[in-house]
């Protein structure tokens, strides 16, 4: 049964992404519609602010990202990355839109790496992903 702190954290995270996340997404999409890189970059900044707020809530509640949050974030990042690459290769994308997409994905990747480095340290972040030669199963290098 979830504790009240778990429920409060869930409400905080939902509120952060429902307000800041969707506001940032709307600004990014408006930047794409107007072919305006500065407008899209402002939207990316708001999305990064939502990510930072989520990390602060995790720190205050002394938790990390849940499996569902991690799966949703990585899945969304991957799906949008594929859509962006396909539109860049096969669609008619303007240069401001290309720069806006690169800014979005670059900032999200940098934010993820910064989170891993600050949460686990550089050595701990690497050990979460590296695999030993004799055991190539996923997560073999993970430590409890």
Asked, for residue 103, whether it belongs to a domain, the answer is yes
Asked, for residue 83, whether it belongs to a domain, the answer is yes
Asked, for residue 136, whether it belongs to a domain, the answer is no
pLDDT tens digit sequence for 102-112: 998 999 888 88
Q: What is the pLDDT of residue 22?
A: 95
| Structural domains of the chain, count | 1
Q: Please give the average per-residue pLDDT across 113-117, as a whole number.
A: 78
Asked, for residue 41, whether it belongs to a domain, the answer is yes
Close Cβ partners of 57 (under 8 Å, ≥ 6 residues apart): 9, 12, 13, 16
Q: Give backbone dihedrals phi and psi of 135, rounded to 5 degrees, phi first.
A: -130, 100
Asked, for residue 27, whether it belongs to a domain, the answer is yes
> Cα(1)–Cα(79) distance, rounded to whole angstroms?
33
Asked, for residue 135, whether it belongs to a domain, the answer is no
Q: Which two tokens mark 143?
A: 């430590």
Q: Partners of 132 in the beta sheet? A: 135
Asked, for residue 134, whether it belongs to a domain, the answer is no
With contact defined as beta carbons under 8 Å apart, do 37 and 96 qualify? Answer: yes
The better pLDDT of the pair 108, 17 is held by: 17
- Domain of residue 115, residue span: 4-127
pLDDT tens digit sequence for 42-94: 999 999 999 999 989 988 998 888 888 888 888 988 999 999 999 989 988 89
Asked, for residue 112, whether it belongs to a domain, the answer is yes
> Cα(122)–Cα(144) distance, rounded to whole angstroms?
16
Q: What is the pLDDT of residue 6?
A: 86
| Count of other CB atoms within 10 angstroms of residue 2 | 9
Q: Give the count of alpha carbons within 13 A of 3, CB side only.
A: 4
Helices vs. strands in the chain: H and E counts, helices first:
5, 0
Q: Please give the average per-residue pLDDT across 23-44, as a whole number.
A: 94
What does pTM read for this prediction? Answer: 0.77
| Count of other CB atoms within 10 angstroms of residue 44 | 24
């Amino acid at each position: 049964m979830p504790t009240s702190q778990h429920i409060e954290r869930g409400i905080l995270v939902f509120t952060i992404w429902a307000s800041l996340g969707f506001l940032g997404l709307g600004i990014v999409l408006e930047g794409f519609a107007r072919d305006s890189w500065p407008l899209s970059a402002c939207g990316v900044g708001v999305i990064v602010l939502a990510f930072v707020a989520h990390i602060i809530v995790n720190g205050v509640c002394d938790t990390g990202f849940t499996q569902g949050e991690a799966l949703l974030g990585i899945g969304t990042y991957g799906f949008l990355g594929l859509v962006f690459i396909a539109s860049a290769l096969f669609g008619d994308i303007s240069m401001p839109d290309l720069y806006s997409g690169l800014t979005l994905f670059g900032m999200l990747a940098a934010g993820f790496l910064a989170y891993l480095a600050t949460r686990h340290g550089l050595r701990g972040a690497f050990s979460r992903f590296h695999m030993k030669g004799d055991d190539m199963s996923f997560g073999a290098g993970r430590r409890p």
